Structure 1
Amino acid sequence: MHLEQLKYIVEVAKTRSISIAAQNLHVSQSTISKAITNLEQELSIHLFTRSRLGAQPTTEGKNIIKKAYEIVVKIEEIQEEAQEQTSLINGELNISASPSFFMPILLKALANFKKDYPNFRIVMTEKKSPNIIEDVSQGKIDIGLAMLDEIDWNAHEELVFESLLEGKIMVCVSKHSPLAFSDHITPEELINETVVMYDGVIWKDSISIFMNRYGPMNILFASNNTEVIKKAVSEGLAISFLMDIALKDDHYVKSGEIIPISLINLESNHRSFGWVRSKKKHFSLAAREFLKYLKLHISKLE
């Protein structure tokens, strides 16, 4: 049994594909196939069933693959300890964030991290929270920054998460709206209002529950592009619901084009935001260091 064999079966288990695993590990498909076959013969069990649908772990293979995950992660930790700060100086960190995430804080943390580690490469994508969780589970990204309320954690035992802060739902209106002069808004005042909404599961569910309880609102459109939503609000086409933390230092709010107003008398108008990672992927020194920067900027808000 060799470490390479363990790395191969871990990657195949992640991707459910020998060809994709070969691409990710920069080896030939035949190399991986032969290594798996040799390991299966050595252990006298079948680790995968192979078909045109891909490579699926067998029942008896799942425990072996789980232990292989643990060994590969430990080896990576040992290698990183030996390298100390080298990985931070020359490495890469893959992050995916929800558009609802506290983007101004995130960007400041990224800027300061990059300033201290100028040769370090950061790759950041913007996705919906469920898509972020899928990428984390598949080992495609190091850290996901998402709205934690949108996730069914019972279905994701392989994930580790931490809440970083709570966000409050605000009603966003144009400066020309009659609502702009209100100190706060009740749900009843929003009946029959035209709304542009963020295209996320929890937002859709919340709006649906809201209308069932208080009355109808006219949904103009839904989008996962918060800039498009804010543009529509600023032009008086509709109102919207956005998180207070996503509006910090926002240019529409600073210029007075958008007025955020507290929504009161609602059963729950708070959402939890935080980071998530997979237990199956090595929690790198770079990832841990970046989270320190992010938490530092969050602490300055408190």
Structure 2
Amino acid sequence: MITYDYYRIFYFVAKYKSFTKAADILHNNQPNITRCMNNLEQELECTLFLRSNRGIVLTPEGEKLYKHVAIAYKQLSLAEEELRQDRTLENGIITIGASENALRLLLLSKLEFFRKEYPNVRIRILNYSSPDAIRSLEANLIDFAVVTTPFKLKKTMNQFSLTTYEEILICGPKYKYLTAHKQYLKDLTEIPLITLSEGTGTHKLYNKYYISNNIPFNPDMEVATTDQILPMVIHNLGIGFYPKELAEEVIAAGKVFPIELEKPLPEREICLVTNKNIAMSTSVRKITDFICENM
């Protein structure tokens, strides 16, 4: 049976019209190169080279074979180089689906350190709600997701908890009087509430939280991203739930104020989610390991 090595040797012998030159390039010896080419001719049952004191010349059969082998060898060499670069993270593209809070609270800092170590890896980040990120992962549109709870996963998914974070209720100057003492949720029903839109994990979380307090969840304003809540609160359009860590700077500046509640808010998690049915490239495996191990 003809092996790939025979064709690789044939490629260099035919390219340089020399057994000696091929042996030097392949770090082999000339007798071994000659033996392999004799075996190749026997396998193919035709003469590929005409040998003389001046060197070698390809026969018509040899010319025909070389045209095909040259194309195949170049393609295989390109594939090997791409695999090598992927293995050493000299290139590669990683597509991540991330919810906004997961991105700002954790993923950006992780990516900063990863890029320092592997600057040639291209990273695409698609901003989704947690449910949308999971659906994109199921559809094989992203390599993995970094999202915030709550969300539902199918058995084909793996979940790795990265960290937890706390949310607080904040208000602008108009409602600062609410910060004088702890508030019961039922006493805030007349105050306009700003939250993320229906279909997001955050909307489902607070709907469940209000129901657990026997209060209907009827937000007055719904927005697409967490970022939109803060300026609306600052401009006294209502109160809203916001990640404590992201609110600390504006609280210190006196632009918004935390409202303490009698019943604590549910703790939230940031998780990395992968699809068992999607084979990971070396670069994807490396970055997911990097994120999970550096917690």
1:219 aligns with 2:219: yes
Provide closer, same or farther for how the CA distance between residues 260 and 93 of structure 1 changes in structure 2, counting only shifts above 3 A: farther
Give distance in 2, aligned partners of 1:182 and 1:113: 44
Q: CA deviation at 1:216?
A: 5.6
Aligned to 2:279: 282
> How far does residue 226 in structure 1 lie from its aligned partner after superposition?
1.7
Listed as ranges, the matches of 1:1-302 within 5 Å are: 83=84, 86=87, 88-101=89-102, 103-151=104-152, 153=153, 156-179=154-177, 181-182=179-180, 184-199=182-197, 200-212=199-211, 213-215=213-215, 219-245=219-245, 247=246, 252-266=250-264, 269-295=266-292, 299=295
Larger Rg over CA atoms: 2
- Tell whether the 8 Å contact from 2:170 to 2:259 is kept in structure 1 after alignment: yes
Who is 1:70 aligned against?
none
The percentage of aligned residue pairs carrying the same residue is 21
Equivalent-residue separation in structure 1 for 2:292 and 2:177 (angstroms): 35
TM-score if structure 1 supplies the norm length?
A: 0.61
Q: Which amino acid aligns with 1:286?
A: S
* Per-residue deviation, residues 73-123 of structure 1 (Å, max 9, x unmatched): xxxxxx89x738645221111101112325143212112211222211000
Q: Deviations over 1:39-76 (max 9, x none)?
A: xxxxxxxxxxxxxxxxxxxxxxxxxxxxxxxxxxxxxx
2:25 equivalent in structure 1: none
**Alpha carbons of structure 1 residues 114 and 174: separation in structure 2 relative to 1, 3 Å:** same
Look up the equivalent residue of 1:197 and give its one-letter code: T
The amino acid of 2:257's aligned partner reads I
CA deviation string 1:187-225 (max 9, x = no partner): 234221211101244433444445554546762211122
User: 118-127 vs 101-110, which deviates more?
Assistant: 101-110
Instruction: Quote how far apart the aligned CAs of 1:141 are.
Output: 0.8
Change (3 A) 1:217 1:190: farther
Flag the 1:284–1:260 CA change in 2: closer, same or farther, 3 A: farther
Structure 2 Cα separation of the partners of residues 242 and 145 of structure 1: 19
CA pair 215-92 structure 1, distance change in 2 beyond 3 A:
same
**What is the count of residue pairs matched by the alignment?**
214
The more displaced of 186-195 and 269-278 is: 186-195
Letter in 2 for 1:237: L
Distance in structure 2 (CA, Å) of the matches to 1:197 and 1:172: 12
SS in 2 for 1:219: coil
Instruction: Classify 1:262/1:101 alpha carbon distance in 2 versus 1 (closer, same or farther; 3 Å).
Output: farther
Q: What is the CA-CA distance between 1:254 and the residue it aligns to?
A: 5.0
Structure 1: runs of 5+ lacking an equivalent: 1-78
Q: Which runs of 5+ in 2 are unaligned?
A: 1-79
Secondary structure (helix, strand or coil) at the match of 1:90 reads coil
SS in 1 for 2:135: helix
Secondary structure of 1:110's counterpart equals: helix
